[in-house]
């Protein structure tokens, strides 16, 4: 069974640009969560989607948005990039997080904002 797939693995952008990251969950998993990981702050929750609906949202500005498609694939978008957005963005999937909390992570997208 294929794991969680995130694309691209690396991205370099400049301030003010926008970026879209993609995540394909494990087959059969319907819940997708996104986390931002930085050395100083650890893993910070961004949002969670289930059945194309945002079920939870973390404490991030509106520049961070996401969506989920009918096949459970998810994308997150960051607009008007800032230097502080440089981080590893991790996607995690689970069957249904409210029933089984085990999250399975992808390898992440390393975003560098110059």
Partner 1 sequence: GQQLNQSPQSMFIQEGEDVSMNCTSSSIFNTWLWYKQDPGEGPVLLIALYKAGELTSNGRLTAQFGITRKDSFLNISASIPSDVGIYFCAGQQGNTPLVFGKGTRLSVIA
Contact criterion met (CB below 8 Å) for 32 and 49: yes
- We find the least distance from the C-beta atom of residue 36 to partner 1, in angstroms, to be 11
Please give the Cα distance from 65 to 3 (Å, whole number). Answer: 23
Residues 1-40, mask of contacts with partner 1 (x by CB under 8 A): ---x-x--------------------------x-x-----
Q: Which is nearer to partner 1, 9 or 15 (CB)?
A: 9
How many CB atoms are closer than 10 A to CB 92?
23
Which listed range, 12-20, 60-68, 74-82, 91-99, lies at the site for partner 1 (CB under 8 A)?
Answer: 91-99
Residues 35-74, mask of contacts with partner 1 (x by CB under 8 A): x-----xxx-x--x-------x-xx---------------
Contact criterion met (CB below 8 Å) for 19 and 4: no
> Which H or E element spans position 108?
none
């Amino acid at each position: 069974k294929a794991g969680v797939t995130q694309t691209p693995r690396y991205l370099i952008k400049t301030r003010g640009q926008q970026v879209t990251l993609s995540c394909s969950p494990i087959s059969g998993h319907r819940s997708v969560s996104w986390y931002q990981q930085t050395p100083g702050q650890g893993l910070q929750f961004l949002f969670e989607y289930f059945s194309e609906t945002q079920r939870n949202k973390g404490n991030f500005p509106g520049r961070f948005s996401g969506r989920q498609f009918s096949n459970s694939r998810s994308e997150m978008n960051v607009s008007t990039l800032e230097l502080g957005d440089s981080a590893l963005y991790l996607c995690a999937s689970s069957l249904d997080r409210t029933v089984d909390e085990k999250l399975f992570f992808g390898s992440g997208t390393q975003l560098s904002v110059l």
